[in-house]
Amino acid sequence: MSWLSRLRDTFRTGRLDDELDEELRSHLEMRVADNIASGMTPADARHDAHKRFGNSTLLKEDARETDIIGWLDTVAGDLRYATRVLRKNPGFTLTAILTLALGIGANTAFFSVVNGVLLNPLPYPQPELLVTLHESKPNFLSGSISYSNFFDWQKDNHSFSSMAIARDYGFSLTGLGDAEQLDAKFISSDYFLVLGANPVIGRTFAPGEDKIGTAPIALIGAGFWKRKFGSSPEVLGKSLTLDGKSYTIVGVIPEAFDLYRSAHPTDVYVPIGQWNNPLVPNREAGLGIHGIARLKAGVAIEQARADMERVTANLAAIYPDADKGIGAHLVPFTESLLGNVRPILLVLFGAVGFVLLIACFNVASLMLARSTSRTREFAVRVALGAGRSRLIRQILTESILLSIIGGALGLLLAQGIRRAALRVLPTEMPRAADIHTDSHLLLFTVVISLLAGILFGLAPALKSSDLFLSETLKESGRGSSGTRHRAQSVFVVLEMAMALVLLIGAGLMGRTLLRLWDVQPGFDPHNVLTFSISLPPSMNAASPAAIRAAFRHVHENFGSMRGIQALSVSWGAVPMGSDDEQVFWLDNQPKPSSVNDMNWALSYVVDPDYLKTMRIAIVRGRFFTDADSENGQHVVVIDEVLANKFFGNEDPIGRHITLQQGEMKAEIVGIVPHVKQWGLDSDETQQLRAELYVPFMQLPDAAMKLSPTGTTLMVRSDGSDAKLFDSLRRTNKLMSDEQVIYGAQTMEEIISVSLAARRFAMILLGVFAALALILSSVGIYGVISYLVGQRTHEIGVRIALGARRWDVLNLILSQGAKLTLLGIVIGVAASLGLTKLMARMLYGVSASDPLTFIGVAILLSFVALAACYIPTRRAMRVDPMVALRCE
């Protein structure tokens, strides 16, 4: 059919309709005239003419179906009719809409997360060219890049159009309202050039401004700009006092350019040359600096890797002491940003898709069951001349109407679900800030609603229209209920199978978390609070002795608070929080020529009360005492892993090691148990596990001078003060207005953050599985109810013939049990394949853990049989007389 003429027709529909009317009228009149001429009475003549025409509306409809407006007209008619039908069955309609809203809502909500995190393009131009850079060292693949090496990398490489480094830092801000801690970054000049960001106002750093000894300048983030300066453009040229030093603001950076798009945007950026750490220029220093670079167009990452291999090999030749064994480790930026979350999100997205499928099957099942009671209605429509496609269209119109209403409701529901989901979202989740409603989301909702409508509408539509072609018009068709029942059973079996898969997934995650909670971290996290402290900015220029005195003062003040049982400074690694390393050599070893030939250990720099604070029991020897001060003999304590690794069967106590930092020779005085620094799950698989404790007061002066900012305090309380940190803050303010404590986290929180991604997956899988369980129970309930309804007569006969209630129970329940069992078999088979996808998220349980599989199968059978029992009871109560009479 020519679309062109259809289109033409569209523009003249009104006329077309009129013309058709007039043509038919003239035909009628001619027929009437001829009839009269052949001798009929005028009334008969007219009657005959009309009879020959039959259904003139239908005729017009048929002639009209060839144009689009006519088509739309029929759709509108179908919609009106569908609305009427749905309104007449509020129970069915409500159930169907709610079921769909749940399914679509859950999908939409989850899609908003997937869309924000995985699908939306990163806010940088050509993000596929971005590469994260690390120094690979004998111990680490992703080590810190030293300041000096970076400038050589930048100068010598041929692969990158720009390259930059950054290091997170916390500044105390003073002189602008209450003293507060800012999230800051030390960056090299090209940082924003790499990202392709332009400042909102002002400029970024110019080449050379990142070198040591240049004038202190700063960039601020748009959020900070708004909060502190009301987004005033006057801010340029103003000064900020950070750690007591004055910086001139030269520009404002848009919020969207935070590298990891996490929930904590950066407040202020400062050139890395401004860092007062004396180790910065040291080529072998590992200071937590990492890089990002932009590939030149057309350069593949493998070429860049080869190029950097050349650059680092040259440096190793020039500076063998520092750079022997040092390479560059390159990772595509999107990989380093999303590599960890992608599999979790995809598994969850698949799971939520199952929920929608189950919802669709349920509604399809409902519609099938209902089409029985509509048999007469359909028969009348067929008798009036409706064709098969016309009927299919009518039923599809109804189902799509349902799914669109369900979708709209689902979209509303999704807003709520998403808000709840964001609350359980790991705070470490990259791009959390990018999750919001956008046009993609709306499109997604519309598409899945339509698809769902077609999916659950098609089977009932085909089935019911089939009915009439097989000429079962006269009676309300018992003959066809067999096929319909089969379709419903297939739906229920599939629902059961999918629910089982989801339950198994949730079960495996649950068991993983239980296993992890059982893992002993090596300390008692209960009632331990950690927070950071920055001494007043004036202390940055103070002598090491004054700093030590200040910390003793802090210790006394906090330590004398009510409810505090023990506290310790922690300079260096915090278990499961941050890590720090020491390099050392043993007393029977000559000093190695290169850092990379020395021995590495995790470094804990603490007070004597650390063991009491963390409730770690000493294994042998002793821990530090107050006598192990700056004036005492240098001592260290090691953990069992270090003892085994470096001393084997020998007794380490009394032996000496030399710490590279300050070339400090110290005696080993005690051994403590190993602490799971790297988290409950992955500590055992890490390379660097040896642990070394150093007394804080014995820190070399150079290091001590850095400690006024960003030192951690760990406090054990008796748990009586629910607002412990507020009390600590009050005590802190009494010591100095310019001293800041910030970043409070309980040790339990730190552990739970390390499990956050898994907990997120478990909560969502659990919710999806629960939804699936409920929906599929409703499904099997519906089918068994239908079955009982169909067999009431038969049951009546059976009871009349002497069947006992038990036999009836058996008869009906065995039907339900058959469906459930089949569902479980299919579900188990599917799970064996699908749970492999989540193997990476599991710990301590196998992806085919028999206990989970069996437990979940039992749970599902129990719930399904309980759902079957309700209609079965109805069957058992059938009064044979009533049942027989109603036939």
Partner 1 sequence: MFRPKTDVLQGTLALLVLKTLVRGPMHGYGITLHIQMLSNEVLRVEEGSLYPALHRMAQDGWIKAEWGASENNRRARFYRLTTAGRKQLAEEEKSWARLTQAVASVLQHA
Task: Please give the residue ranges that form the binding site for partner 1 (CB under 8 A).
Answer: 1-2, 5-6, 9, 19-20, 22-24, 26-27, 29-31, 33, 52-55, 58-59, 62-63, 65-66, 382-385, 387
CB of 773 to partner 1, least distance (A): 46
Single-letter amino acid, residue 486: R
**Angstrom distance (rounded) from CA 107 to CA 349:** 8
CB of 382 or CB of 762, closer to partner 1: 382
CB of 61 to partner 1, least distance (A): 9
Q: Where are the beta strands (DSSP E) in 235-312?
A: 239-242, 245-253, 268-271, 290-295
**Which of 523, 575, 528 has its CA nearest to residue 717?**
528
Q: What share of the chain is helix, strand, coil (3-state, %, to 5)?
A: 55, 15, 30
CB of 60 to partner 1, least distance (A): 8
Query: DSSP letter string over 99-154?
Result: HHHHHHHHHHHHHHHHIIIIISPPSSSSGGGEEEEEEE-SS-SSBPPPHHHHHHHH
CB of 31 or CB of 552, closer to partner 1: 31
Token digits of residue 664: 């400090």
Beta-ladder partners of 184: 169, 268
CB of 472 to partner 1, least distance (A): 13
Token digits of residue 530: 């950690």
Single-letter amino acid, residue 598: M
Cβ atoms < 10 Å from Cβ of 500:
30
CB of 8 or CB of 419, closer to partner 1: 8
Token digits of residue 873: 């009871």
CB of 387 or CB of 479, closer to partner 1: 387
CB of 29 to partner 1, least distance (A): 7
**Angstrom distance (rounded) from CA 57 to CA 393:** 19
Token digits of residue 464: 């019911």
CB of 1 or CB of 43, closer to partner 1: 1
CB of 85 to partner 1, least distance (A): 23
CB of 59 to partner 1, least distance (A): 5
CB of 7 or CB of 627, closer to partner 1: 7
Between helix 756-800 and helix 90-114 the angle, nearest 10°, is 160
Write the DSSP symbol of residue 287. Answer: -
Q: C-alpha dihedral over 507, 509, 512, 517, to 10 degrees? A: -100
CB of 389 or CB of 682, closer to partner 1: 389
- What length is written for the chain? 887
Helix (H, G, I), strand (E, B) or coil at 205: coil
CB of 7 or CB of 541, closer to partner 1: 7
**Angstrom distance (rounded) from CA 105 to CA 775:** 14
CB of 381 or CB of 552, closer to partner 1: 381
List the Cα angle 882/883/887 in 5-degree steps.
105
CB of 464 to partner 1, least distance (A): 16
Q: Where are the beta strands (DSSP E) in 508-663?
A: 528-534, 564-572, 581-586, 599-606, 620-621, 635-639, 656-659
CB of 81 to partner 1, least distance (A): 20
Q: Is the dihedral of CA 387, 392, 395, 397 positive or negative?
A: negative
CB of 23 or CB of 726, closer to partner 1: 23
CB of 34 or CB of 726, closer to partner 1: 34
CB of 2 or CB of 439, closer to partner 1: 2
Helix (H, G, I), strand (E, B) or coil at 551: helix
CB of 468 to partner 1, least distance (A): 9
CB of 22 or CB of 178, closer to partner 1: 22
CB of 364 to partner 1, least distance (A): 27
CB of 207 or CB of 387, closer to partner 1: 387
CB of 44 to partner 1, least distance (A): 18
**Angstrom distance (rounded) from CA 516 to CA 501:** 23
**Angstrom distance (rounded) from CA 567 to CA 613:** 6
Q: Is the dihedral of CA 331, 333, 335, 336 positive or negative?
A: positive
CB of 374 to partner 1, least distance (A): 18
CB of 65 or CB of 879, closer to partner 1: 65
Between helix 388-424 and helix 341-373 the angle, nearest 10°, is 140
Q: Is 311 within 8 Å of 136 (Cβ atoms)?
A: no
CB of 56 to partner 1, least distance (A): 9
Q: Is 655 within 8 Å of 568 (Cβ atoms)?
A: no
**Angstrom distance (rounded) from CA 240 to CA 177:** 12
**Which of 160, 171, 212, 221 has its CA nearest to residue 189?**
212
CB of 22 or CB of 718, closer to partner 1: 22
Distances in Å between the alpha carbon of 754 and those of 426, 429, 521, 651? 9, 12, 12, 35
**Angstrom distance (rounded) from CA 505 to CA 501:** 6
CB of 388 to partner 1, least distance (A): 9
CB of 371 to partner 1, least distance (A): 19
H-run or E-run covering 546: helix 544-559
**Angstrom distance (rounded) from CA 527 to CA 533:** 19
**Angstrom distance (rounded) from CA 785 to CA 55:** 41
CB of 73 to partner 1, least distance (A): 15
CB of 196 or CB of 385, closer to partner 1: 385
Write the DSSP symbol of residue 787. Answer: H
Q: First and final CA of the chain: distance in angstroms?
A: 52
CB of 32 or CB of 421, closer to partner 1: 32
CB of 484 to partner 1, least distance (A): 22
